[in-house]
Chains A and B, each alone.
Chain A
Amino acid sequence: MLLALIVAVAILVAALMALLSQLGGAGGGSSASSEDVGKLYSGIPQNGTTLGKSSAPVTIYLYEDFQCPVCGQFSRKTFPEVVDRSVRGGKVKVVSEPLTFIGSDSVPAARAALAAGEQNRYWPYAQLLFQNQGKENSGYVTDEFLKSQAENTPGLDVGKWSSDLKVSSVTKQLQAAQAKAQSAGVNATPTLIFSGPGGQTKLVGLYDYEQVSQAIAQVE
């Protein structure tokens, strides 16, 4: 019967689309695998929350909250280009200032990233947090969730990471970031403060690479 055939074909086509969606989901330019995360940062020096050569003349202070959706968009869409085109060449270094104002889940996420920073793996860990970001304050930041990102972070010793979650250095860094945000007048995320020999400038919200590179040029 024709109707039965149509229904069967429809089910087949929909199932195929669902399968493709599972397989090809990362093809939109966002790197969701640990190899991609490893590749993006390979060869670039990492020192705690600083990414890039310490001699880089321009510094971008990136105030972000791991639950903030726009920060997630920035990390997935714009940041890889910033790393490739501005950080890798040694002109720019980025310092992440993890803030936790969105909700209580922001704290364990930030602590987990800082713990990875104790092994100088903060940046790939942070990127994985943003790649797998859930809805803010939905409770998605569970111990399993954080551990799974640690397991996917290339070069991270998960055992050491786990014990570093509770160290006081991590607490101090969180408090320092909070204090810096207050004195810099940062009240929204993501906020990018560009600082260089030519001065300072600020961008708040989601920007594309062209706008970021203009801000870099302003302070060079």
Chain B
Amino acid sequence: MLGALAVVGLLISGYLTWVHYAGVVPVCVGGSGGCETVQTSSYATIFGVPVAALGLVGYSGLLLAALLRGEASVYLGLLVALVGTLFSAYLTYLELFVIHAICEWCVASAALMVGALICTAFEAWRLAKAP
């Protein structure tokens, strides 16, 4: 389950990272240009690094956690999912209250991160319960 979420997240982050470097406009359902507004806002990059690339790193971490066995990988997954969810919440706040535009790809990624958090939290809880 975590692996599947991570793969979809990688696809979305990969697409947005490519969009940034290719200088193209992201596909946007709803036709209101929200995706462009968000992706070209000053919040879309941190010191020149597109936020989508951070997503690539995060989802890779989750995929790794999903593929490995053992305690360490459970805690790695939980840490990455927590950071990812918190940061996604901050980015969503920016979309709603600062940029005043919604990018559906970002919303999808935030949802995936929350899903990943639920999975990893469940795994960690199971680990804590086991004798």
Taking Cβ atoms with an 8 Å cutoff, the residues of A that contact B are: 2-3, 6-7, 9-11, 13-15, 17-18, 20-21, 24-30, 32, 68-70, 72-73, 76-77, 131, 133-136, 138, 140, 206, 208
Asked if residues A72 and B37 are in contact (CB atoms below 8 Å), the reply is: yes
Give Cα A77 to B24, complex, Å: 11
Give the 9 A-B residue pairs with the shortest CB-CB distance, closest first.
A28-B45, A69-B33, A10-B82, A14-B86, A135-B101, A24-B47, A27-B47, A25-B42, A134-B100
Residues of B within 8 A of A131 (CB): 42
CB neighbours of A9 from chain B (8 A): 79
Q: Judging by beta carbons under 8 Å apart, are B32 and A136 in contact? A: yes
- Is B25 a contact partner of A206 (Cβ separation < 8 A)? yes
- Chain B, interface size category, equals 20 to 34
Specify the main secondary structure of chain A where it touches its partner: helix
Instruction: Please tell me if the beta carbons of A27 and B46 are within 8 angstroms of each other in the complex.
Output: yes
How far apart are A61's CB and chain B's nearest CB, in angstroms?
Answer: 23
Inter-chain pairs besides A133-B37, A138-B101, A206-B23, 20 sampled, C-beta below 8 Å: A3-B78, A6-B82, A7-B82, A10-B79, A11-B82, A13-B83, A14-B82, A15-B86, A17-B87, A18-B90, A21-B51, A28-B50, A72-B37, A73-B36, A131-B42, A134-B37, A135-B100, A135-B102, A138-B100, A140-B100
Question: B46 near A136 (CB under 8 angstroms)?
Answer: no
Q: Are B37 and A135 in contact (CB under 8 A)?
A: yes
Is B33's CB under 8 angstroms from A136's CB?
yes
Q: How far is the CA of A136 from the CA of B38 in the complex (A)?
A: 12
Q: List 22 A-B contacts (CB under 8 A).
A: A3-B128, A9-B79, A10-B82, A14-B90, A17-B46, A21-B46, A24-B48, A25-B41, A25-B42, A25-B45, A25-B46, A27-B46, A30-B42, A68-B33, A70-B36, A72-B40, A77-B40, A134-B37, A134-B101, A135-B37, A135-B99, A136-B33
With a CB–CB cut-off of 8 A, which chain B residues contact A136? 32-33
B64 interface residue, CB < 8 Å from A? no
A208-B34 in contact given A13-B83, A21-B46 (Cβ < 8 Å): no
The 8 A CB mask of B86-97 against A (1 = contact, 0 = none) is 110010000000
| CB <8 Å contact, A28 and B86 | no
**Chain B residues in 8 Å Cβ range of A134:** 37, 99-101
Decide: A18 near B87, CB < 8 A? Known: A27-B45, A27-B48. Answer: yes
**Neighbouring A residues of B87 by C-beta, 8 Å:** 14, 17-18
- How far in angstroms is the closest Cβ of chain B from A71? 10
Contact in complex: A73, B46 (CB < 8 Å): no
In the assembled complex, the Cα of A135 lies from the Cα of B45 at a distance in Å of 19
| Inter-chain contacts of A140 with B (CB < 8 A) | 100
Instruction: Looking at the assembled complex, report how far the CB atom of A7 sits from the nearest CB atom of chain B, in whole angstroms.
Output: 6
Q: In this complex, what residue of B is CB-closest to A138?
A: B100
